[in-house]
Amino acid sequence: MGENGAGPARRVVVTGMGAVSPVGIGAEATWRGFVAGRNGIDRIATFDPAPFASQMAGEVKGFDPQSFMERKHAQHTARFTQFALFAAQEAVDASQLPITDANRNDIGVIIGSGIGGLPVTEEAHLTLLERGPRRLSPFSSPMILIDIAAGEISMMLGVGGPNFALVSACASGGHAIGEAAEIIRRGDAVAMLAGSAEATITPLAVGTFAAMRALSQRNDDPRHASRPFDRDRDGFVIAEGSAVLVLEELGHARRRGAHLLAELVGYGATADAHHLTAPDPSGGGAFRAMARALERGRLGADEIDYISAHGTSTPLNDAVETLAIKQLLGERAERVPISSVKSMIGHSLGAAGSLEAVVSVRAIQEGRIPPTINVETPDPACDLDYVTEGARSLRVDVVLSNSFGFGGHNSCLAFRRIEA
């Protein structure tokens, strides 16, 4: 690997971030929305939700792909890929990462997604049924594919390093960032753009998730439907968005004078091996992911200042995550603040982990923890400190960010403050 070499001492830092979410377009707007406790959930506007058991979502509003893409390109690009392209360009601009002939093949991209181009799939299927196969668009096939987001970013930036997609349902974002860091650590890249994107607020997605009773049916009060850790939670609210981080090898970042936002010191990935959709009720898989992230980061449980929870607002997940945190922290569990930004934007599926990585890094930078909103009646099974009073000011040196997915996939990222 050229200038940095390889070896066990390679450290990975975050030097730039980009985001698109239901509370803001851009990483700064998204963070400010979270800190303000802004609610991005409302009745679905993308299609008529009246026939559906769940009728609300966290939709990204005001996003115009033609503000940064040519119209023809935008027409042939799936919405989740548009989100990823925007977030990636913002992250690169924020990091001021130079891309030259000398380093472009040492910069890679991993973009995760749980479902990818589902809206295109639905539209193409309707065209097939109503107008026949000869009316199908040749652009539909690549627009559907989850790997195209990473491919499009590599083409936009002209980077030729490791490039692929990663799919692990709602853990996709955490896994994408964690695996990108591993690529840097083993010497296969000096920098990686890593994150995830999702845009699947469609009749099929809403209908199927509702059929399995995963979604909230609080249709008369959408803004209070996502209520992680509350006794009366009844399911998650589907959402969309994207976030991308620029990860760099520490020496590379320092030599070019980059602004270091945080260090990604630990990554844990485990499987529940229990059930297609339900978490292991013992919390064992989630616990092991967090414990491995700490071990890899050479951190003790007593060093954790904040946990960005998966916190989906489903009855099983929130209780099991609480149990796993108690197993990890022991008697200290009650003193570590925990919050879930899904209370404000809903569950953006594959995009969730990368959006919550942005939260983790910004919490370290600013010394502020975003709140968990809508916790009105505490659940006895969820009896920890969920920051329900509004954003909290607190020096944050170490954050754990949890993401758990259907299929029993668990990921945990450990971020640590890094001094200039």
Mean pLDDT for all residues in the chain: 96
Number of structural domains in the chain? 2
pLDDT at 4: 44
- CA 8 to CA 45: how far, in whole Å? 50
Are 246 and 276 within one domain? Answer: no
**286 has pLDDT over 80:** yes
Evaluate whether 276 touches 287 at the Cβ level (below 8 Å).
no
**187 has pLDDT over 60:** yes
**In-domain check, residue 418:** no
- CA 330 to CA 324: how far, in whole Å? 10
Mean pLDDT of the 363-383 span: 97
Are 212 and 277 within one domain? Answer: no
Of 252, 310, 382, 412, catalytic: 310
Domain span at 120: 2-255
Mean pLDDT of the 184-204 span: 98
Are 228 and 118 within one domain? Answer: yes
**224 has pLDDT over 70:** yes
pLDDT at 420: 64
Query: Of 228, 255, 282, which marks where a domain is finished?
Result: 255
Are 21 and 60 within one domain? Answer: yes
pLDDT at 2: 40
Whole-number CA gyration radius for the chain = 20
Residue 155 φ then ψ, to 5°: -70, -40
Are 190 and 96 within one domain? Answer: yes
Mean pLDDT of the 369-378 span: 97
Active site residue 175: no
Query: Of 197, 231, 255, which marks where a domain is finished?
Result: 255
Of 73, 76, 274, 347, catalytic: 347
Active site residue 409: no
* pLDDT 10s digits, 99-146: 999 999 999 999 999 999 999 999 999 999 999 999 999 999 999 999
Are 58 and 168 within one domain? Answer: yes
Are 248 and 177 within one domain? Answer: yes
pLDDT at 253: 97
Are 159 and 225 within one domain? Answer: yes
Q: Residue 269 has which token pair?
A: 């990935």
Are 33 and 180 within one domain? Answer: yes
CATH of the domain at 348: 3.40.47.10
Are 216 and 290 within one domain? Answer: no
Active site residue 76: no
Please compute, for residue 132, the number of CA atoms within 13 A of its CA located in the half-sphere on the CB side.
1
Are 226 and 349 within one domain? Answer: no
**In-domain check, residue 420:** no
pLDDT at 8: 56
Of 170, 252, 382, 412, catalytic: 170
pLDDT at 419: 78
**In-domain check, residue 32:** yes
Are 273 and 224 within one domain? Answer: no
Percent of the chain with pLDDT over 90: 97
Evaluate whether 261 touches 360 at the Cβ level (below 8 Å).
no
Question: Residue 277 — pLDDT band, cuts 50, 70, 90?
Answer: confident
